[in-house]
Amino acid sequence: METLLNDFSVGLFIMQAIILVILILLMRKFAWKPILDSLQNREEGIKNALVSAEKARLEMQNLNSENEKLLKEARAEREAMLKEARDMKNKMVEDAKTEAKEEASKIVAQAQASIESEKNAAIAELKLQVANLSIDIAEKVIREELSNKDKQVKLVESMLSEAKLN
Amino acid sequence: MVAKKSIKLIAVLVLMVTSFSSLANEGDHKQETHGKGELVDSPEEIREYIAHHLKDSHDFHFFTDNASGTHFSFPLPVIVWTSNGLKAFMSSEFHHDDNAQVIVEKDEVSLVKLHSKIYELEAGASSIDFDEAHHPTNAHKVLDFSITKSVFGMLLAGFLMLLGFTALARGYKKGAIPTGFGRVLEPLVIYVRDEIARPNIGEKKYRKFMGFLLTVFFFIWILNLLGLTPIGFNVTGQIAVTACLAVFTMVIYMVSASKDFWKHTLWMPGVPVILRPILAVIELVGFVLIKPFSLLVRLFANMTAGHFVVMSLIALMITMKQAFGPVASTGMSLVLALFISVIEILVAFLQAFIFTMLSSLFIGMAVEEHDHH
């Protein structure tokens, strides 16, 4: 302890104090202040840059989701339009089909009707002709039959016999 | 930039070497009578040599050529406050004498140098007298403002700091990211700010103390590292230096202490009233004496011990020569001294860190504001 105290130099203490004060002042003015200021500026710059990057990212994200939404909407719209078109087409086809069917059946019915009427007319004509023919034949036959007395009697007799039987 | 810096460095080195050699030559002529021409080889001499190294000195001694007795050293200015006012002269006037044999006369004041201290002889005394404990009886110490080796070391450290950090500061004008050596310095500054000052003092107030903390951190660290060079500085091992640093810390935290701090220190709330004055005394003694004392002793003791151990291990080479032979003792000394030197590099940083850390811790305690109560 005594040697320690003996070694303690007041002059050195004072010199050290003076040097330290001057050094602190000089360093503060010429080194620490500019260094710390620039460090702080740089750190703030980095922080700001990070914040704005994050902001830009979020904006981008928003934009993306908006785009996505728009795209989805457009897709849905397209889908709806397609569906509508398809429906319309189907309906049109269906309509055309039924119409055609109706038309066809109508035509068929008409054809059938005309066939029927033709047939009736034909039958009527046929009947008429057959009747005429029969009358002609009958006239001729009767003429033939009545030219001969025997035959007239015979006929009358046969008819009478038939009538009895009836 | 780098090239410019290295040119500067070379210029400084050249300046130092030339001045050293010229001064050494000057020393040469005056040295003839005093050279002992002996090797430092006995345990006592080694002990004395180490003790001498640990002390401050008035000239910058590199080594002594024992064959011719030439000291390779350069003198430093001696500035002393004597009974007859301020006296300044070069330490070469003592002719490397450290035993109060050479008397320097300056305007009726007789000065001698004894064990790295300058004494003024009482009026009328023509030579120094000692008592049994080898204390001078007819001389007293003078206030010594000399540019001693330690002061020279401090100036060198300050110069290096100014050189390095103003360069870093200037570098920021060119761009946000430093180039060259600034890249090494910048992380250190950030380290002190973010790991030492901010967590201990607090985000709001740390800025005010950065000037002191950064200066002290780099000052101590550079001086510790200079102490590891063979130039042989032992600045942070001078108790006056560490005491001054500790007193600075103490003054700073006492001056900037908050109202809350004084309230808690002098009249601790939540404690029985009878205990409060006792606590106040304990707290005050703790802050004014014990904390600075622990700071100054820690740094001083660590650095002194480091120097002592390294020098002792180097001296093993000589002391163990008898027992193990020259090769084994040299090898052992080399390995051990290398090992301890590597540890000392760590300690150099560690002590600077601890000093700054504790300083900021104490400042943090003093400026803290309690929002409860």
Q: Which two tokens stand for residue A5?
A: 């105290």
**Mean pLDDT of all residues belonging to chain A:** 88
Q: Largest Cα–Cα distance of chain A, in whole Å?
A: 202
Residue B48: closest CA among B1, B12, B98: B98
* End-to-end CA separation in angstroms for chain B: 56
Q: Is the pLDDT of residue A95 over 90?
A: yes
Exposed, middle or buried, B301 (CB in 10 Å: 0-12/13-18/19+)? middle
Domain map (residue ranges) of chain B? 2-33+66-146, 151-367
3-state secondary structure of B44: helix
CB contact under 8 A, A12 and B56: yes
A142-164 per-position pLDDT tens digit: 777 777 778 778 878 888 888 76
Q: What's the pLDDT at B36?
A: 46
| Chain A closest-CA separation from residue B211 CA (Å) | 5
- Report chain B residues whose CB lies below 8 A from the CB of A35: 165, 168-169, 172, 186, 189
pLDDT at position B319 is: 84
Rg, Å, chain B Cα set:
25
Q: Is the dihedral of CA B24, B30, B34, B36 positive or negative?
A: positive
Residue A1, pLDDT above cutoff 80: no
Identify the pLDDT of residue B12: 53
Please classify residue B281 by burial: count the beta carbons closer than 10 Å to its beta carbon, then call 0-12 exposed, 13-18 middle and 19+ buried.
exposed
Provide the pLDDT for residue B224.
93
Sort strands B77-82 and B117-121 into parallel, antiparallel or unpaired.
Answer: unpaired
The residue of chain B nearest to residue A6, with distances taken between CA atoms, is B117
Look at A31 and B169 and tell me if their CB atoms are within 8 Å. Answer: yes
Task: Tell me what pLDDT residue B217 has.
Answer: 95
Nearest CA in chain A to B214: A32
Residues 6+ apart with CB under 8 A from B231: B62
Residue A45 has pLDDT above 70, yes or no: yes
Rounded distance between C-alpha atoms, residue B145 and residue B228, angstroms: 25
CB B42 within 8 Å of CB B7: no
Is the CB of residue B312 less than 8 Å from the CB of residue B50? yes
Q: What is the pLDDT of residues B94-137, one digit of tens each?
A: 887 777 778 888 777 888 888 778 888 877 777 777 877 777 87
Chain A: give the shortest CA distance to residue B240, in Å.
5
Contact yes or no for A41 and B56 at CB 8 A: no
Residue-level pLDDT, tens digit, chain B, 373 residues: 445 555 555 555 555 544 444 444 443 333 333 334 466 777 888 888 888 888 888 888 777 777 777 778 888 888 888 887 888 888 888 887 777 778 888 777 888 888 778 888 877 777 777 877 777 878 888 888 888 888 999 999 999 999 999 988 888 888 878 888 888 899 999 999 999 999 999 888 888 899 999 999 999 999 999 988 888 788 888 889 999 999 999 999 999 888 888 888 888 788 788 888 888 899 889 889 999 999 999 999 999 999 999 989 988 888 888 888 888 889 989 999 999 999 999 999 999 999 999 999 999 988 887 765 4
Which amino acid type is present at position B136? P
Please tell me the predicted confidence (pLDDT) of residue A139: 83
> Domains of chain A: which residue ranges?
9-126
What pLDDT sits at residue A71?
A: 94
